[in-house]
């Protein structure tokens, strides 16, 4: 989603209003800034219960340093909400974002704002066209709307599943930011491209279930227009379920995920190979911008994961 113009006010109750090229005007109510800090402080104040339950670990090998010059960070900011959302979603999401700074080298700071937006949404706003807007850092801004996390918590009965889906969305929007900041080459539709980025980041972080759950959520939100930039819900579910179980075949022990995967068997998709193709591609384009690469070993399978 491209933010083409923006204006903002001042004070604790300020409103940042963005004219979105494809969605009309969305008013982002900043409200009271609850938490804005660097990695260690955000992680320390996060809801450790939800964050630790996710099992998230940043991708890459911590033992190897990045060659790329690191001139930026993901800067999480948590704003108060007028919704009924559990703020643990934002606190745990902020902790996750902070940990990603240990794995990524960025050319400029990117704000990651957990705030009310007036709709259930998430989007990346590039710096271009938003110069002078305090909400958008030099490397742009990622908006994770409280309304969307509230929708996740209402859709899933298990809060851990809802949070895993929220993590996928964070990674998806991070994918848009990386495309913009690192000028990654995109062949095809960017939305599908960053779905692949998100699936790999989750797969290499031990949270690939988030990809499958996100696909399930999207498939149950009604039919997107076939000319939309996103894949239609069932197609998106097919992609994300395939890449999720391709990263972690143990997910097939869950009867619901196994049921979904059986449809992939019918179509003959080789999910391990698809996932590893995504992984190799992301390794290639990110290069030394990620610590130690995304993985130490890629094992290609000649057989489908759904056997």
CB–CB of 113/128 below 8 Å?
no
Q: So what's the pLDDT on residue 2?
A: 30
**pLDDT at residue 194 above 70?**
yes
pLDDT level of residue 293 (50, 70, 90 thresholds): confident
Q: So what's the pLDDT on residue 305?
A: 43
Q: So what's the pLDDT on residue 42?
A: 54
Asked whether residue 303 is domain-assigned, the answer is no
Asked whether residue 296 is domain-assigned, the answer is no
What is the edge-to-edge ordering of all strands in the sheet holding 122-125?
33-36, 74-79, 110-115, 141-145, 122-125
Asked whether residue 299 is domain-assigned, the answer is no
Q: So what's the pLDDT on residue 22?
A: 39
**pLDDT at residue 188 above 90?**
no
Q: Determine the structural domain holding residue 173 and report its residue range.
A: 3-289
* Ramachandran category for residue 251: left, alpha or beta (phi over 0 → left; psi -120 to 50 → alpha): alpha
CA–CA distances in Å: residue 300 to residues 141, 245, 270, 277, 287: 36, 14, 11, 9, 20
Give the total number of structural domains in the chain: 1
More confident residue, 136 or 25: 136
CB–CB of 151/181 below 8 Å?
no
State the average pLDDT for the chain. Answer: 80
Q: So what's the pLDDT on residue 214?
A: 94
Residue 64 DSSP label? S
CB–CB of 90/51 below 8 Å?
no
**pLDDT at residue 279 above 90?**
yes
Query: What average pLDDT does this structure show over 222-232?
Result: 55
- pLDDT per residue as tens digits for the range 3-22: 222 222 222 233 344 443 33
Q: So what's the pLDDT on residue 19?
A: 43
Q: For the chain, what is the radius of gyration of the CA atoms?
A: 18
Asked whether residue 127 is domain-assigned, the answer is yes
Pairing mode, if any, of strands 33-36 and 24-29?
A: unpaired
Which alpha helices (DSSP H) does the chain contain, by range? 39-45, 48-54, 88-100, 146-155, 159-181, 190-204, 209-219, 233-247, 255-267, 271-286
Asked whether residue 298 is domain-assigned, the answer is no
Asked whether residue 84 is domain-assigned, the answer is yes
pLDDT level of residue 262 (50, 70, 90 thresholds): confident
Asked whether residue 54 is domain-assigned, the answer is yes
Q: Could you tell me the two tokens for 259?
A: 């049921």
- pLDDT per residue as tens digits for the range 146-155: 999 999 999 9
Across the strands, what pairs with 26?
18
- Provide the whole-model pTM: 0.84
Asked whether residue 154 is domain-assigned, the answer is yes
Pairwise CA distance, residues 208 & 187, whole Å: 24
- pLDDT per residue as tens digits for the range 89-101: 998 999 899 889 9
């Amino acid at each position: 989603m491209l933010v083409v113009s923006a204006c903002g006010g001042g004070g604790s109750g300020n409103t940042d209003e963005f004219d979105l090229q494809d969605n009309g005007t969305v008013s982002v109510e900043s409200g009271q800034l609850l938490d804005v800090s660097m990695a260690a402080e955000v992680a320390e104040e996060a809801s450790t219960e939800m964050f630790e339950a996710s099992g998230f670990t940043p991708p890459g090998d911590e033992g190897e340093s990045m060659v790329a010059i690191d001139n930026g960070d993901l800067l999480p900011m948590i704003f108060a909400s007028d919704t009924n959302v559990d703020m643990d979603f934002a606190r745990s999401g902020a902790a996750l974002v902070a940990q990603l700074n240990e794995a990524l080298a960025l050319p400029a700071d990117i704000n990651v704002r957990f705030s009310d937006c007036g709709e259930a949404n998430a989007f990346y706003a590039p710096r271009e066209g938003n110069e002078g807007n305090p909400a958008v850092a030099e490397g742009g801004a990622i908006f994770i709307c409280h309304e969307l996390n509230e929708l996740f918590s209402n859709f899933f009965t298990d809060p851990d599943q809802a949070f895993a889906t929220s993590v996928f969305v964070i990674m998806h929007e991070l994918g848009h930011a990386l495309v913009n900041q690192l000028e990654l080459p995109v062949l095809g539709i960017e939305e599908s491209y960053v779905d692949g980025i998100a699936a790999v980041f989750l797969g290499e972080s031990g949270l690939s279930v988030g990809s499958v759950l996100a696909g399930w959520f999207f498939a149950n939100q009604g039919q997107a227009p076939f000319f939309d930039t996103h894949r239609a819900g069932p197609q998106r579910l097919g992609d994300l379920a395939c890449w999720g179980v391709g990263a972690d075949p143990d997910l097939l022990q869950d009867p619901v995920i196994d049921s979904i995967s059986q449809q992939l068997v019918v179509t003959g998709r080789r999910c391990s190979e698809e996932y590893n193709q995504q992984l190799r591609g992301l390794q290639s384009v990110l290069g030394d911008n990620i610590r130690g690469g995304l993985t130490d070993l890629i094992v290609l399978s000649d057989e489908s994961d759904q056997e």
